[in-house]
Structure 1
Amino acid sequence: MPSSPEDANPLTIRCQCGYISFPTPTPRPITLYHCHCVSCQRQSGSAFGTSAIFPSAGLFPLSPHLASRLKVFRRPTNAGRSADCYFCPECGCRVMHRIVGADGTPRASVSVKGGCVVGGLEWAGAAHIFVREAVMKIPLEWEQYDGLPPWIKMD
């Protein structure tokens, strides 16, 4: 058993069909949250999307092998930025996205879809964000924010 989270092995990120599979850049995400915004509802085909936030260092730039397998599309965000959305061309599963600033600078973190993280992801205690757009009732005792919480940096 590892003596600390830093000593642990990385987790695996995998699409639904297994065509895309690679290790997380760190053994644990920086944070985990459930987003109830309309974009996440549409992307996930569900009531919310779960994001495991990892540092992008160690993953980006993508290895040539991974870059050749992933497809990407860029969509605008409400904040004047864009999101590079990576998905499997075989099963269509969205794997991750990365925000790109208006100046073209990619964010130092990447949002991995929680359901694509295989084994070991600690789901307890994840915050709920954009609950003003939620289509389900969120228990009051759960950490929640109407929009973005103050701890999510927008740079």
Structure 2
Amino acid sequence: MNVSCQCQNVVFKTPLPKPLAIYICHCNECQRQSSSAFGASAIFPRFPLPCPEFLAVYTRPTASGHTVNCYFCKVCGTRVIHSTPGKSVVSVKGGCIEGLDWAMAKHIWVKRAMVPIPEGAELSEDEPEHAPYICRATDIRENGNEKMKAGAA
């Protein structure tokens, strides 16, 4: 799948032709990050950080006690990838992916939803149960881009 930021400086292909999962997240952090009622993320196996020369990172704690690295384009500010150290997957922000099929999307953190959840949609009141593929230890920066440290802008 083709992915790009708004200004097209960050452009890459996903490692699989379709995501492992798609989440429409209604948590407060995703509402703030997207400046909207929810955020959308497509889950893929961890892959080398694309276009590191155009990416900056904002690191923040999560509600579950982890840390998430939020990578965004240095030029246009588009949030592109979220990575949690120690997890074997990353989330690519849904609005950056061409042709994403939303049919398999699961709504999460619906207890904080600002908009109605579609009838019949798969949902979780808060953080979803994690699939086994999430727990294998890796780090997105293990691709030779050690100069890209968390907290660097």
Class of the TM-score when normalised by the shorter of the 2 chains: 0.7 to 0.9
Contact 2:25 2:108 survives alignment (8 Å): yes
Which of the pair has the greater relative contact order for Cα pairs under 8 Å at 6+ separation?
2
Q: Mind listing any 5+ residue stretches in structure 1 that lack a counterpart?
A: 1-10, 101-105
Alpha-carbon distance between aligned partners in 2 of 1:78 and 1:25, rounded to the nearest angstrom: 28
Cross-structure match for 2:96: 116
Which of 102, 125, 143 aligns to 2:104? It is 125
Task: Tell me the residue number matched to 1:94.
Answer: 79
CA-based RMSD: 1.5
Equivalent in the alignment of 1:50: 40
- Alpha-carbon spacing, 1:50–1:67, altered in 2? closer, same or farther (3 Å): same
| 1:93 partner amino acid | T
**Secondary structure of the residue that 2:43 maps to in structure 1?**
strand
Detail structure 1 runs of 4+ shifted over 6 Å in the superposition: none
**1:56-108 deviation per Cα after TM superposition (whole angstroms, max 9, x unaligned):** 0xx22x36xx11221112111122210011000111000010112xxxxx311
State how many pairs are aligned.
Answer: 134
Can you give the 5+ residue segments of structure 2 that lack an aligned partner in the other structure? 136-153
User: Offset at 1:151?
Assistant: 4.3
- Hey, what's the Cα distance between the residues in 1 that align with 2:73 and 2:98? 16
Call closer, same or farther: CA 1:72–1:42 in 2, change over 3 Å.
same
Deviation at 1:152, TM superposition (A): 4.5
Which residue number corresponds to residue 125 of structure 2? 146
Q: Normalising to structure 1: TM-score of the pair?
A: 0.80
Letter in 1 for 2:90: V
Which residue of the other structure, out of 24, 27, 37, is the alignment partner of 2:14? 24
Render the CA deviation track for 1:109-134: whole Å, top value 9, x for unaligned. Answer: 00000010123x21113110000000
Which has the higher mean CA deviation after the structures are superposed, 145-154 or 47-56? 145-154
Deviation sequence 1:26-69 (CA, Å, 0-9, x none):
1111011100001000001111001100000xx22x36xx1122
> Secondary structure of the equivalent of 2:122?
coil
When Rg is computed on C-alpha atoms for both structures, the one with the higher figure is: 1
Distance 2:104 2:42 in 1: 13
